[in-house]
Amino acid sequence: MINREDVFKYTQNKYKVEPDYPWEKHSNFAALRHKDSGKWFGLIMDITEDKLGINANKKINVLNVKVRKEMIGSLRELENVFPAYHMDKNNWVSIVLDYTENLDDIKGLIEESYELTS
């Protein structure tokens, strides 16, 4: 299982990006933004599993990233990837960090999201 701090360290080292917390009501939701444009390439949220269609109410950490449309179908076949919560489901997916064993498993998706949102 990886945690949000693992993702924050990776994006800080790779892109010199620190998370920001744009919502007072959801103070634990962290946006990862491009420094120049302010566009998001990632959003980390703690939500309950039922928000992703899982028949449970345990709180989990998810990372939303933008992916190429042609990859969405195959990505959603993975046990830790779901249609994006609170984002455009045609272009974004939610990765359950609590179900992801290794940061290396999602680095490529973070990098792709960064490039797609440039």
Domain residue limits, the chain? 4-116
Percentage helix, strand, coil for the chain under 3-state DSSP, each rounded to 5: 35, 25, 40
- Architecture label for domain 4-116: Alpha-Beta Complex (3.90)
Which pLDDT value is given to residue 109? 97
pLDDT at 95 over 90: yes
Could you give the percent of the chain with pLDDT greater than 90?
87
What contacts 24+ positions apart, CB below 8 Å, involve 99-104? 99/1, 99/60, 100/1, 100/2, 101/1, 101/2, 102/2, 103/2, 103/6, 103/7, 103/10
What global pTM score does this model have? 0.94
pLDDT-based confidence at 87, cuts 50/70/90?
A: confident
Which pLDDT value is given to residue 19? 97
Which pLDDT value is given to residue 108? 96
